[in-house]
Amino acid sequence: MKTVVLKFGGTSVGSIDRIKNVARIISSYKRKKMGVIVVSSAMSGTTNELIKKTKELSNSFDAAEYDVLLATGEQATCALIAGRLKHLGFKARSWMSWQLPIITEGPYSSSRISKINKGKILSFMKSGGIPIITGFQGINLENRITTLGRGGTDASAIMLAKYFNTDACDIYTDVDGVYTTDPRNHSKAKKIHKISYDEMLEMASLGAKVMQPTSVQDAKLNNINFSVKSSFQKKKGTLITAVKKTFSNQIITGITSTKNNSKVTIVGVKDRPGVAAAVFKPLSLNQINVDMVVQNISLNGKETDLTFTIKSEDVKKTEKIIKQNKKISFRKFTYDNNVSKVSIIGVGMITTPGITYRMFQALASKKINIMVISTSEIKISVLISNKQIKKAVAVLHREFKLD
Ligand code: ADP
Ligand code: ASP
Ligand code: MG
């Protein structure tokens, strides 16, 4: 018997009608005599609502209780899906992660699955049952509930596919595949039929919300092929896999943008060894993720400016940490909350010269100022003003023949 993991995201289970629709999709796999493992997210908006409640109670809400609370959303949808399937005459039941259990490692809110106990699910499936498993959650070795980071049901799906060694893993969402750029923000975005793990990982990490970055990393590490499909339209989706057949003229695969970035500049730090480390160590100890970094070349050999980007929500905390840092001296701390990162991604970049120039030229043609640049083998990112994102994505999409 062929087996498959079916993952349903928040929008796909976002209302009673949509739960009915999900049950229909599940039953279509059962009709093909497949063994099905379902994993579901919370209804869209639920997790955000829960987070809001914790913020109203404390600005440093207990990490363990935070995960206990956030995990409740998935419990509700799994029960609803299982209940609907039973109504339709199927053998189904919900399983919370702790009931298997799904074991995780790492800190609360960003744990990773390290083991899935399969026994109960396998015997339930053997008897024809459809298990509906909560995504996004697990338990740690202290027997406490953990969560896998925002969008973490994607990681649950990939790891279920790994542990149960299923034949397929279908990620059902509200778009019918991975597009060259977010189809909600650019009408000329095109569906990508097949994309490599590496490109998908870059796209996810650089702002394409469609897959959680960690889940793509898990898929790559374990060589799990998966498809992204729409739960609303019956269309062929996107296959994410190890190899990619590209058209020879296709250099760039996708374009992404991020929101809520801030650019911080520390003006007049001493230009000597150890200063950058002294600036960034306390930030890292406080879980502040620093992204793009530039240090200007100092003119007098004594002082320089250090610029870096962080999430906007971390600006105040960063300012406090920098200003209290006795290991550094500087003249001024400034920040700009109205910046975004736009990136072009494609393995074709490795073998094609001149991509950086074409990107900068295209942006310049629309009078878009570049503040910070960062590159890797298969991506180029630039920091620009928030207001110019739409324009930047559009001009780059055209420049790299993705329209
Ligand atoms: P789910 O709740 O199913 O997990 P998400 O909201 O996490 O769904 O991800 C789907 C969304 O990702 C889409 O609605 C789309 O707006 C967004 N998205 C961003 N970039 C892309 C892209 N390149 N291709 C497809 N969708 C994208
Ligand atoms: N419900 C969780 C979230 O909103 C997990 C998920 O949807 O994948 O982040
Ligand atoms: Mg998601």
Q: Residue 246: is its pLDDT beyond 70?
A: no
Q: What is the pLDDT of residue 247?
A: 54
- Cα of 301 vs centre of ligand 2, distance in Å, is 49
Residue list, ligand 2 pocket, CB within 6 Å:
9-10, 41-42, 47, 73, 135-136, 150-153
As a whole number, mean pLDDT of residues 211-233 equals: 98
Q: What is the pLDDT of residue 245?
A: 56
Q: What is the pLDDT of residue 271?
A: 84
| Cα(224)–Cα(289) distance, integer angstroms | 28
Q: Residue 335: is its pLDDT beyond 60?
A: yes
Q: What is the pLDDT of residue 189?
A: 98
- Confidence at 244, pLDDT banded by 50, 70, 90: low
Estimate to the nearest angstrom the gap between the alpha carbon of 157 and the chain centroid: 14
Q: Residue 177: is its pLDDT beyond 80?
A: yes
Q: What is the pLDDT of residue 29?
A: 97
Q: Strand 261-270 to strand 92-95: parallel, antiparallel, or no bridges (unpaired)?
A: unpaired
Which ligand gives the minimal distance to the CA of 156?
A: 2
Lowest mean pLDDT among 65-69, 103-107, 296-300: 296-300
pLDDT tens by residue, 375-384:
999 999 999 9
Q: Quote the pTM value.
A: 0.94
Q: Do 200 and 36 touch, CB atoms closer than 8 A?
A: no
Q: What is the pLDDT of residue 44?
A: 98
Q: What is the pLDDT of residue 249?
A: 67
Per the model's pLDDT, the better-predicted residue between 175 and 303 turns out to be: 175
Q: What is the pLDDT of residue 243?
A: 73
As a whole number, mean pLDDT of residues 158-180 equals: 98
- Cα of 225 vs centre of ligand 1, distance in Å, is 18
Q: What is the pLDDT of residue 351?
A: 85
Q: What is the pLDDT of residue 248?
A: 55
Q: What is the pLDDT of residue 153?
A: 98
Q: What is the pLDDT of residue 259?
A: 85
Among 8, 47, 174, the mutation site with the greatest number of ligand 2 atoms within 8 A of its Cβ is 47
- Cα of 209 vs centre of ligand 1, distance in Å, is 5
Q: What is the pLDDT of residue 369?
A: 97
- Cα of 347 vs centre of ligand 3, distance in Å, is 24
As a whole number, mean pLDDT of residues 38-54 equals: 98
Ligand 1 atom closest to residue 212's alpha carbon, by position in its atom list = 7
Using CA positions, which residue lies closest to atom 10 of ligand 1?
210
Using CA positions, which residue lies closest to atom 8 of ligand 2?
151
Mean pLDDT score of the chain, rounded to an integer? Answer: 95
Per the model's pLDDT, the better-predicted residue between 8 and 250 turns out to be: 8
As a whole number, mean pLDDT of residues 158-162 equals: 98
- Confidence at 59, pLDDT banded by 50, 70, 90: confident
Share of the chain above pLDDT 90, in %: 91
Among 153, 193, 209, the mutation site with the greatest number of ligand 1 atoms within 8 A of its Cβ is 209
- Confidence at 122, pLDDT banded by 50, 70, 90: very high
Q: What is the pLDDT of residue 263?
A: 97
- Cα of 123 vs centre of ligand 3, distance in Å, is 30
Q: Residue 28: is its pLDDT beyond 80?
A: yes
Q: What is the pLDDT of residue 89?
A: 97
